[in-house]
Amino acid sequence: MTFDKLINYLKLDKQEFVFQFNSHPNYPSALAFSDTLNFMGVRNDAYELDKEYWDELPEEFIAIVENSFSLVKKAGEQYSVYSDKAKTLNKEELHKSSTDFVLLFEKDEKAESKSVTNFKPFVYAILGIILAYSLLNHAWYNVIFNMLSIIGVYISLEIFNQKFGNISAVIGSICGAGASATQNVNSCNKIINQDKTSILGLKFSDFSLIYFIGISVLGLFLPSSAFVIKGFTLASLVAIGYSVYVQAFVEKTFCRVCLIIISILVAQIAISFFLFDNLIFDSKVLLLSIILWLSSFSLILFLNNVLEQKETLQKSNAKNLRFKRNYDLFKRELTDNEKIQFSDNETFSLGNKDAKLHISIVSNPYCGFCKDAHKITEQLLEKYPNDISAQIRFNYTPERANEKFTNLISDFTHIYNNKPEKEFLKTVDTWFETKNEDKIREIAGTSSNQENLDLLIQMSTDNSHAGLNFTPVFIINGHQFPEKYDREDIWYFITDLIEDEDF
């Protein structure tokens, strides 16, 4: 199931989205798709809605069009549909090809898509330097030759990157233009993605990248390297012939990207044959050229193997996570823990006091691991302000606390009692960022006056009686968060916990 255009339109990270979607225990259902959008910061609600009411829908919504999750955007009397590709349908065509499922969404303004390491800008910077050097130091035909090499590297790199699930706008625009867009895209995918060539795991398109990297570097040393370059460009006739044969007689369809690369190779052959003169064979240049191509081959082989292993691990991890993210399993682990009853649920109480989902976080201001736990609690309260109540339960024993600790707890109490909840949360966040007692005292605006800490002491006693001496600890509706799960996993289950009427 592919929805490249949809993900791209929503400005989500494709690899992260696909990983989260595939690892959902209900994959590939609409529930899995909806939950993944929520996880990525796109809030949504799903409905089964008869087509007669679709005119009342907002300008943008998500539907299942031609058995694929698609973003539908009204454009006058037409509808733009974004899924694995973009297309335009009229009202009748849309209704005929869609189910009654619709998903209304709202993009979280604060949500940011996670980016993966991208080496392409670095490569493009190097190609820019090569081009600038050529313009300043070479004859016009050498500059054109090097520009063609750079274009070859650029297109080949896009093809290489697309192998591992990344969207290539360049390849899409080349293959998808014109009236027969769908046919052209399928032709490109058929030639590029279903290439049967495999030498040490490298496809035919990978050797295009290796070739153009080598030619680009050798082009810097023109005219000294002209003899060797001419030899390699003539050798590329073998690759041209093989590519044309596969397209014309094996697959019986032509790929626009492949034809562009062939055109670049033919143009370079023509330039080297008709314009390169005074050719001098230099064994040192030949030796360096062989070393260069072997280095390029080794680099691409290494990157290919690393990315393939990463992709395999991601797929395997996604399958394993379907079990870990199963809500029924999580709930069983959670409720297997004996329920804890606290005498005080009001001190440092946050969020909606009437919410049926209550989270307690047992922590210590000087605990290094508590920072991330408090951040999760803060983000939960921010995202679900009406559905969650929370309590911060600091472990504080006056007999063991020094003056700084006592003053810090007193300042927290003063801020909680006298300032808005958001300011209290911000102060706790500031503390874990700076660990500066003077900064907290400045925010509290107190001097030597100390708050009554009896409730804090009683809270710590309750924590101790429940065996909660180590921090941080999450407690959900009285049940301690299961040790088999990471605290961050709560994001996978928070919606289910809120909606579970039996919990």
Per residue in 455-486, pLDDT (tens digit) is 888 998 888 888 888 888 899 999 999 888 88
Three-state secondary structure call for residue 102:
strand
H/E stretch holding 45 reads strand 42-48
Using the structure block, give the residue that is written with the tokens 């682990």.
333
User: CA nearest 277: which of 204, 202, 226?
Assistant: 226
Tokens coding 183: 């046919």
Q: What Rg value do the Cα atoms of the chain yield, rounded?
A: 31
pLDDT digits (tens, 9 = 90+) for 239-264: 889 888 888 887 777 888 888 999 99
In sequence order, what are the residues at sequence separation of 6 or more whose Cβ sits closer than 8 angstroms to the Cβ of residue 6?
Answer: 62, 69, 70, 71, 82, 83
Kindly list the domain boundaries of the chain, sorted by start residue: 4-107, 120-312, 327-499
pLDDT < 50 positions in the chain: 109-117, 177-185
Amino acid letter for position 195: D
The CA distance from 501 to 503, in Å, is: 6
| Whole-number Å distance between alpha carbons of 253 and 190 | 9
Homologous superfamily of the 4-107 domain (CATH): Cysteine proteinases (3.90.70.10)
Cis peptide before 365 (omega within 30 of 0): no
CA dist., res. 146 & res. 267, Å (int): 11
- pLDDT at site 166: 63
Residue 225 CA to residue 219 CA, distance in Å, equals: 7
Length of the chain: 503
371, amino acid identity: K
**Alpha carbon distance 397, 459 (integer Å):** 10
Q: Which architecture does CATH list for 327-499?
A: 3-Layer(aba) Sandwich (3.40)
The tokens of 262 are what?
A: 């062939």
Taking the alpha carbons of 268, 269, 271, 276 in that order, is the dihedral positive or negative?
positive
Q: Is 429 helix (H, G, I), strand (E, B) or coil?
A: helix
3-state secondary structure of 108: coil
Burial of residue 37 (CB within 10 Å: 0-12, 13-18, 19+) is buried
The tens digit of pLDDT for each residue in 124-175 reads 788 788 888 888 888 888 889 989 988 998 888 888 877 766 656 677 667 7
Same CATH fold, 120-312 and 4-107? no
Q: What is the pLDDT of residue 41?
A: 75
**How many Å apart are CA 337 and CA 198, to the nearest integer?**
53
Q: How far lies 205's CA from each of 243, 304, 386, in Å?
A: 10, 12, 54
Q: Where does 120-312 sit in CATH, by number?
A: 1.20.1440.130
Q: Are strands 388-394 and 357-363 parallel, antiparallel or unpaired?
A: parallel
- Whether the predicted model's global pTM rises above the 0.95 cut: no
**What are the distances in angstroms from CA 198 to CA 157, 161, 202?**
18, 17, 5
Look up residue 421 and give its two tokens: 């909840």
pLDDT of residue 182: 43
